Amino acid sequence: MKKLVLASNNAGKLREFQQMLAPLGIEVLTQAGLGISEAEEPHSTFIENALAKARHVSEHSGLPALADDSGICVAALNGAPGVYSARYAGDRSDRHNNEKLLSDMQGVSDRRAHYYCVLVLMRNADDPQPVIAEGEWHGEIAHEERGGGGFGYDPLFWLPGLGKTSAELTPEEKHAISHRGKAMRALMQRLSAE
């Protein structure tokens, strides 16, 4: 596979996938660059949303499509924001989402959280066996934002073992341990076994 379309318009995700796929020589096209609208994400699970996004982009592009559905799941909030992570505060603003999460976590002692990512690669829109890979990254919700890197909830995702937030990691450090990095490595392993 020399070319695929990433089923996302999230600039942070685009950057991460381009960095991870560049060494493999895979050209990553964007759905926006091809004039493809975003797919609906009406489902309550990450996997169903990722399948819907990959199928939508593959149907409209005629090319293989890679979709990611990911989010942060907070134990004390019964897994929220979960699939609604991108629009937890009602819009797609990282700042608003982080403010809402901090507000919801005020006075909460159980700060455990994890990022979850599912990747779906569909070779074509009718692919009966899409390649599916998952990754999890465990940490805690910090009491305040720290760091200027990453995107989304990264300034609040505290890594006790490292003593820093995800937003304080270099892109290389993040890819090595993140949910998306784990899922991407699993996906590449599956593809190389075919």
The catalytic residues are: 69
Compute φ and ψ for 154, nearest 5 degrees: -55, -40
DSSP symbols for the chain = --EEEE----HHHHHHHHHHHGGGT-EEEETTTTTPPPPP---SSHHHHHHHHHHHHHHHHSS-EEEEEEEEEEGGGTT-BGGGGGGTTSSS-HHHHHHHHHHHTTT----EEEEEEEEEEESSTT-SS-EEEEEEEEEEE-SS---SSSSTTGGGEEETTTTEEGGGS-HHHHHHHSHHHHHHHHHHHHHHT-
